[in-house]
Amino acid sequence: MEKFQKLFEDMEVKSADMGQSLDQVYQGSLNQGDVDNLIKEVADENKIEMDKEMGEAGRGPVGGAKEAKADTGSIDARLNNLKNT
């Protein structure tokens, strides 16, 4: 049992050291400009028009918004109908 506990503690220390080392490697090493350039390069290689396909993101209603308004109207009508009875 002591041998298992010792191995477990050693593994825990090694895991913590590895985590700290990886944090230091990745911390601040990714430049957003480099990431954007890489995405653009991959998109160009695959003939993907990122601006065209993603440029409209966040502009306008989400699909199904018209149906939701229609449902609200019918619910209001049903509620008014119930109130009148």
At 9-22, the pLDDT tens digits run 989 999 989 988 88
Give the pLDDT score at 66.
Answer: 56
pLDDT of residue 22: 84
Q: Which of 76, 56, 80 is nearest to 68 (CA)?
A: 76
Considering Cα of 69, then 72, then 76, then 78, what sign does the dihedral take? Answer: positive
Residue 24: band (very low, low, confident or very high) from pLDDT cuts 50, 70, 90: confident
CB 35 within 8 A of CB 41: no
CB 40 within 8 A of CB 50: yes
